[in-house]
Amino acid sequence: MAREPFGTRLRSIRERAGINQTKLAEQVGTDQGHISRWERNLAAPDIGTVQRLAAALGVYAVELLIGRRPKLTKWCRVDAECPQAAGESAESLGDQPAPTKWLEAQERVLLREYRLATGKTAKSMEEAEKWFTGLSLAERDRIGRRLHDPDTVGRYLQTPKIR
């Protein structure tokens, strides 16, 4: 199952938002040439820039990085701007939410990746997510592929895998 690269995701989200490269560059605090190189997958932004890109495009940084929206109940905090807190339903955000068991299995995969990389067990999902965002783009992409691989995640489902 091939995943689209970061730059392709960035371009499709930017076009969906109706923003041109120049306007996005102004909002993020960079120049249009950087946006162009990122979209052509010739370079990758640092994590702080990814967060500014996400804010300018009205999406979560995780959606830009791995192509999926985060589980809203795990990512929204009282002090953060949260679509659910504003009274918006998950349906108004676009995609239907993934089944709960699948998301829980993805969390277990991320926790396992954290344990394998650091040699210790994460105290919370937030700790593993913070570790994930601090990784290089190549490492986030590698782990993101595992998070969306049906065989890998299927091993962590509590129900038997159907072939």
Which amino acid, 70? P
pLDDT recorded at residue 99? 62
DSSP state, 18? Answer: T
DSSP state, 155? Answer: T
Tell me, yes or no, if the pTM score tops 0.75. no
CATH architecture for the domain at 6-67: Orthogonal Bundle (1.10)
Main-chain dihedrals φ then ψ at residue 35, nearest 5 degrees: -60, -45
- Where along the chain do its domains lie? 6-67, 100-154
pLDDT above 70 (res 78): no
Confidence of residue 44 (pLDDT cuts 50, 70, 90): confident
CA pair distance 43, 32, nearest whole angstrom: 13
pLDDT above 60 (res 84): no
